[in-house]
Structure 1
Amino acid sequence: MPHRYIKKILSANVYDVAVETPVSPARSLSKRMDNNILFKREDLQPIYSFKIRGAYNCISQLSQAQQASGLVAASAGNHAQGVAMSAKYLGINATIVMPKTTPDIKVSSVRALGAEVILHGDSFAQAYAYSLTLVADQGLVYIHPFDDEHVIAGQGTVAVELLRQVQGHVDAIFVPVGGGGLIAGMSVYIKYLRPDIKIIGVEPEDACCLKVALDAGERLILPEVGTFAEGVAVAQVGKLNFELAQQYVDEVITVTTDELCAAIKDIYDDTRAVTEPSGACAVAGLKKYVEREQAKNQTLIAVSTGANLNFDRLRHVAERAEIGEGREAVIAAQIPERAGSFKGFCKALGDRNITEFNYRYSNESQAQVFVGVTLKSGEGGREPLLEELSSANISAVDLSDNEMAKTHIRYMVGGHAAVEHEVVYRFTFPERPGALLKFLDTLGQPWNISMFHYRNHGSAYGRVLVGMQVPPEDKAKFEGYLDELGYAFNEETHNPAYQLFLAP
């Protein structure tokens, strides 16, 4: 099997449209982590993503009859642009089916490349199913984003360039994983020539389809997929990709949303490029590997895979980067409701800076405050801060890993309300014009809405925190109704952030 792929990779046709991307030294990150860290800059491709390689190689291999039939692909992002640009160069008609939730910037980019865009469904799965009806009804040729030998071979050209550009000793290469096309192509080529180099896949914790598959020994389908890193938000790794990963991938590391945001900042600091979350995945995994292994003086390479980031997501990235880097803690603290308490609290923090302080009067004796605190350089985590507050007789709860607190509560601190039978749920729903109104119409049943907070970060999904007045005897009926709604949800009634700041 490897020889077949090596031949396909070496004969892959990508440079009609793709470019050979540079390897950039990450000087600041290297110094900070005591390793030689390099970035393979696939964010510098004409479509700002490596996806152009696999798409063009696949399309250019089609027969004249297949090309004359026209192409179809389902994608909400980079693969769509890769297919559209490749088809335009080759003079082939292309249709891209995109979910209705796809941000306008991506739809406009695909249309500007000459492809016909059909908006269908709220998810990739629905867009994909519709694209297959076009294959059956119109005879179009489907271009798969990752589970195809020619696509895998096209992505493998990243490895060909990399081993030519970095000829000295390399300890490990970190590769983002969605459906697995890039890591399949890169790993089979690198392990064939340089089996001493570790190949490490990196996935978001809430979209880790390859890790789950490798652990189980079979391709499983994730019941839910996180959408922050849209470029790697895939529920099931490809069949061909999984077979290659089982043989040639050393391990898979998972990373959090906050760690992705910190990695985006790291890449910006060293290159002045703003990558998308999936594009920073490898850097986040590299940093986690260095910390876990206490690695020193190694040569480590991260593939920066894409820079198609919606501008309105930058606020969210900036908010979370410091927490992801371990330079900021978010805590809830209880201080006496009397003059001088805030000054005493600041004194207990020592020389740490307060980045955020949310407070409202609650009762005559105690006040709950929501605080962001910059940690000292070399402090080694949040424990010293919590211990110092405890020594000053200040009760504090660490909310740095509490998603609801960081997404919703920090914007809602306003005191407790006398609401009877309140239950709290966190929802995500497909984002498109009118989506919030539709959500409210759907939710508007016999139970009263007692609290509502909505946030969207320019992504395909909106986030809502909802309080509902539901008597205990109605709880089972209410949750059955939520199941019928079809929106992903989690109950947060017992979340400490809610209990501390908003609960009756």
Structure 2
Amino acid sequence: MIALSKIMDASRRLNGVVQNTKLAFAPRLSAKREANVYVKQENLQNTGSFKLRGAFNKIATLSDDEKNRGVIAASAGNHAQGVAYSAKHFGIKAVIVMPESTPLLKVMGVKELGAEAILKGNNYDESYAYALEYAKENNLCFIHPFADDEVIAGQGTIALEMIEAENNLNTIVVPIGGGGLISGIGAVYKQMIPNTKIVGVVAQGAAAMYHSFLKKEIERIDSVRTIADGIAVKNVNEKNFGYILECVDEIVMVDDYEIAEAILFLLEKQKLVVEGAGASVVAALLHNKFQISKNENIGLVLSGGNIDVTMLGVIIEKGLVRAHRKMRFSVTLIDKPGSLQELSNLLSSLGANIVKIDFDRISTSYGDASVSIMLDTKGKEHQELIRNKLRINGYEFSESF
């Protein structure tokens, strides 16, 4: 594992550059699992992610010749912004290769920091391969997002801050993409407080590290697909895998529905905007993916907050439907004055608020109209009451989600 001295050196370099983000007690999460849960808010870090730490530490250690040549990185977004921010700090050229599906927020963030953004490839691994070729052709210094000791040392400074803030945490839960973050955090805890349990969380749609950890040998997958783009890494890197075997006790897996629920929970209950990768650790906690003792002290690393606004809107909408707080149904009415008002009055009498309505005469029989309605509702029992009243009053309807 990475030497503690190297991580402490990184901490000195990062002093005054990165924020010592708050390790905040999370009362609602704590109540959910009858434990004492703390969240390390790297979603509020400069550039919105922990990635700034590793990128800055690596670039700070480059020789003058390497800095003068300029740097290049491949990233789904957060490492990109970290490299761009650091390059701007040192006044050097930066080129970032990003997957074509990268959220616009992250692409714009890179450009605003003065770096050149190249969209290439369907996922990180394809962008990575292109960036290596581009680096050779243009004599640029490649900054790896996770398989580099100086990058890992930078990420490990998070653990130093956590220990300084709360030195009696029993379990630390960390998202895993390439593995640089958990390699750094795990190295600190295993050298400073060895009995601390380190739990990694992967997305089900990018689970190569999960399967590799179980088998204790590298397993490969054909593709990745997850809303947690920050941890959507297809291949397992040998260096990081070795570090993970040394300092990680358990790896668990969460699916996109669980991640989306966690994003919504953090937004509504903790007043925090967290991207899918960061929310994965909360998903693991909410869905009992790892064992917890009563009153155990747990630290969750919220790795980033750079979520695409469009994606956030979809997550909120679907989350409200799954929580029975929105209801969407279609009903066919006789196309005559007052039909829609009668239906509206019925829904109003039940305390259901119409938030959207579509009226379609084209796709139905002559004399009829198809009406699609979305309602704000007050839970599962309220929705069942609405269904029963519609049936009693002779309405035939179908629900959609």
1:297–1:152: structure 2 CA closer, same or farther, 3 Å change rule? same
Aligned pairs (5 A) from 1:356-395: 374-375=379-380
In the alignment, residue 40 of structure 1 is paired with which amino acid? K
In the alignment, residue 81 of structure 1 is paired with which amino acid? Q
Deviations 1:1-45 (A, max 9, x none): x4x521211111223421111111112222343221110010111
Tell me which residue corresponds to 1:150: 150
Tell me by how many angstroms 1:212 deviates: 1.1
Q: Distance in 1 between matches of 2:125 and 2:246?
A: 28
Q: Tell me, yes or no, if the aligned pair for 2:155 and 2:180 is still in contact at 8 Å.
A: yes
Matched, 1:232 2:222: no
1:122–1:50: structure 2 CA closer, same or farther, 3 Å change rule? same
Tell me by how many angstroms 1:263 deviates: 1.2
Tell me which residue corresponds to 1:31: 31
Deviations 1:368-406 (A, max 9, x none): xxx999457xxxxxxxx9xxx9xxxxxxxxxxxxxxxxx
1:328–1:242: structure 2 CA closer, same or farther, 3 Å change rule? farther
Tell me by how many angstroms 1:317 deviates: 1.2
Tell me by how many angstroms 1:104 deviates: 2.8
Tell me which residue corresponds to 1:427: none
In the alignment, residue 308 of structure 1 is paired with which amino acid? N
Q: Distance in 1 between matches of 2:299 and 2:206?
A: 22
Q: Tell me, yes or no, if the aligned pair for 2:252 and 2:290 is still in contact at 8 Å.
A: no
Q: Distance in 2 between matches of 1:280 and 1:154?
A: 21
1:65–1:36: structure 2 CA closer, same or farther, 3 Å change rule? same
Q: Distance in 2 between matches of 1:278 and 1:82?
A: 16
Aligned pairs (5 A) from 1:280-359: 280-289=279-288, 293=291, 295-321=293-319, 327-328=323-324
1:23–1:270: structure 2 CA closer, same or farther, 3 Å change rule? farther
Tell me which residue corresponds to 1:410: 400
Q: Distance in 2 between matches of 1:21 and 1:330?
A: 35
Deviations 1:240-259 (A, max 9, x none): 21111112111111112121
Deviations 1:117-171 (A, max 9, x none): 223334333322221122221211100000111111100000010011002x322
Tell me by how many angstroms 1:315 deviates: 2.3
Tell me which residue corresponds to 2:123: 123
Deviations 1:170-214 (A, max 9, x none): 221110110000001001110111122211001111112211111
2:5 pairs with one of 4, 7, 10: 7
Q: Tell me, yes or no, if the aligned pair for 1:59 and 1:86 is still in contact at 8 Å.
A: yes
Q: Distance in 1 between matches of 2:290 and 2:110?
A: 41
Aligned pairs (5 A) from 1:256-271: 256-271=255-270
- Higher relative contact order by CA 8 Å / sep ≥ 6: 1 or 2? 2
Q: Distance in 1 between matches of 2:104 and 2:304?
A: 18
Tell me by how many angstroms 1:116 deviates: 1.5
Q: Distance in 1 between matches of 2:154 and 2:162?
A: 14
Q: Tell me, yes or no, if the aligned pair for 1:29 and 1:266 is still in contact at 8 Å.
A: no
Q: CA RMSD in A?
A: 3.9
Q: Distance in 2 between matches of 1:294 and 1:97?
A: 40
Matched, 1:201 2:191: no
Q: Tell me, yes or no, if the aligned pair for 2:53 and 2:154 is still in contact at 8 Å.
A: yes
Deviations 1:437-461 (A, max 9, x none): xxxxxxxxxxxxxxxxxxxxxxxxx
Q: Tell me, yes or no, if the aligned pair for 1:174 and 1:201 is still in contact at 8 Å.
A: yes
Tell me which residue corresponds to 1:63: 63
Tell me which residue corresponds to 1:172: 171
State the TM-score, normalizing by the size of structure 1: 0.64
1:158–1:292: structure 2 CA closer, same or farther, 3 Å change rule? closer
Tell me by how many angstroms 1:216 deviates: 2.2
Tell me which residue corresponds to 1:140: 140
Deviations 1:73-118 (A, max 9, x none): 1123101000000011011111111233333322221111111222
Q: 1:161 aligns to what SS in structure 2?
A: helix
1:292–1:80: structure 2 CA closer, same or farther, 3 Å change rule? closer
Q: 2:129 aligns to what SS in structure 1?
A: helix
Q: Distance in 1 between matches of 2:251 and 2:62?
A: 33
Q: Percent identity at matched positions?
A: 37
Q: Tell me, yes or no, if the aligned pair for 2:124 and 2:232 is still in contact at 8 Å.
A: no
Tell me which residue corresponds to 1:393: none
Q: Tell me, yes or no, if the aligned pair for 1:42 and 1:50 is still in contact at 8 Å.
A: yes
Q: Tell me, yes or no, if the aligned pair for 2:284 and 2:290 is still in contact at 8 Å.
A: no
In the alignment, residue 88 of structure 2 is paired with which amino acid? K
Aligned pairs (5 A) from 1:184-195: 184-195=183-194
Q: Distance in 1 between matches of 2:156 and 2:292?
A: 30
Q: Tell me, yes or no, if the aligned pair for 2:105 and 2:307 is still in contact at 8 Å.
A: no
In the alignment, residue 319 of structure 1 is paired with which amino acid? E
Tell me which residue corresponds to 1:246: 245
Q: 1:11 aligns to what SS in structure 2?
A: helix
